[in-house]
Structure 1
């Protein structure tokens, strides 16, 4: 089942700085086992290729994210908590996002208010799609959050998270930008009655805690919706996609392409403290699927798809993200397929990205 070759596969390290190189290296490597020993920079780890093995691994409650506790704390939101507080917070957020996803008319109105009828330029897409999400979740009767305020706040938060993960102090350089963003969101949360906010209020959440969660969601999903819609438009998907169309989009082009856990030492492979790396881009293209690289919404494969991860740390936005894609395609879809290639949108999400027009 595992690779035992002395020639251990070597890849760039897992830090955000090297993600583009790592993405290209993983997609170009040929894997012959279900679980493959590898090195990521100086760290030893294991790449899980088989989707069923990956699902079983991610379902384990005793495996933590490879990010440090301090780094998760800097991110904010329920993901920064532990134990019962983490599970309670996650449950509340999952319910609130599901509640928000039920109102597609409000989501469509928020899209119109923040992006109109024109797809934003690719460089602006993460900020634009995130602004749409925040407008919908925090309340859509106010003017949209200023893009500069949003981008500066998220960039500052991202820099703080990266610094802490690298063992450096977060610093105070971006404090003003983060405070400005939080202040804008707090004003909405106080005066609006959006479904997401309403659901959390009923669970006893305060305004500061709701704002912290909104910032955490923006951090976690900064590029993901933009990436999914980029892939859908490159494929020329319909303006009225089916649920099967969206599921197949997320199988073949999952925005979340890298999930990392730290082993506890009780796997049949690997030692405690080593890394377990699951890439849905690899597991969804493994030979466990029939014609894995074929886009087929009607496929009958009974295989584990992991576009939102799995287990207790699974992304809480499954239903909400699917509805976002549906609404976005209603506004922007129905075009023709484009020549495209796999690439990262930003540094954390992957997509099928059209080639520049000059290369078509």
Structure 2
């Protein structure tokens, strides 16, 4: 058994886990990551990151390299299944392959002398001893445990609300990356569904997410591989030119979007939840990865200030993050309802608001203006 009793043990080496590892090590706090997968796989996924996350990545010395390998937007356009509705200015949004961000976070973590152990699946955790047992029978003792292991979090299932398994949201999503000359974020809204396209670099690689509302029984993996023909059949009421060129692209995947109800608290004795382990959400505001980055950064700040009493650090984290993440969960679900309106009268009203007001851009600005560094610092000073 290895003694990591002066380390923060992190379960999960995704965006949340690697961000937390980088933030802790930069603050001089020892951390170690255990990831169940032998290696990272992204399944064609891309992500969007708004300023609320980018300013934190800049503080972690990642933003400059990320920007060089990604695409930065300040404009969006919206259409119906066939007809253009409007264009509007947006706050800065960076879009990129998930793998690009993961690689940069991993490189930064390693440069800070961080260790990550792959193929380590958590079996159990003794919260009194702060001792983790993995399925390979290894045991490790930590100063504190942070669960960054996603919506299927073993830690959440064991130590938080019991018998509250992930629930299908009613939405499914096709995701993939093709080729296009698109230079902005583009939305196509239709009854019961919507499509979002955006460049992820300057090489004409364009990611799309095509979401529809449907009752469907997904496999345990929550994703199924499909073909362009299957995709076009699901969205036959849309102009097919909305999608990037998919011939020769990586495999396409159809995902079930799952959620969990908000928790009263994201902390318990010796355990803190971060990212999707704490607050999985539908992706309609593009804030899932941003919330994980905000969580990770805020918890590291709290640990630095309260290193002699991590239970106090947990309380600061829970206070600062709970209200913010619950609000974004709620607004994300509402955004899906707005996108998928079926009533012709309500569609006309929605389109008029988008076309003749600044509400879409202003709503995004309020979300993006949030500064997790400032919010956590303010609460630590009170």
TM over 0.5: no
Q: Normalized per residue, which structure has more strand?
A: 2
Provide the TM-score with structure 1 as the length reference. 0.29
Provide the TM-score with structure 2 as the length reference. 0.28
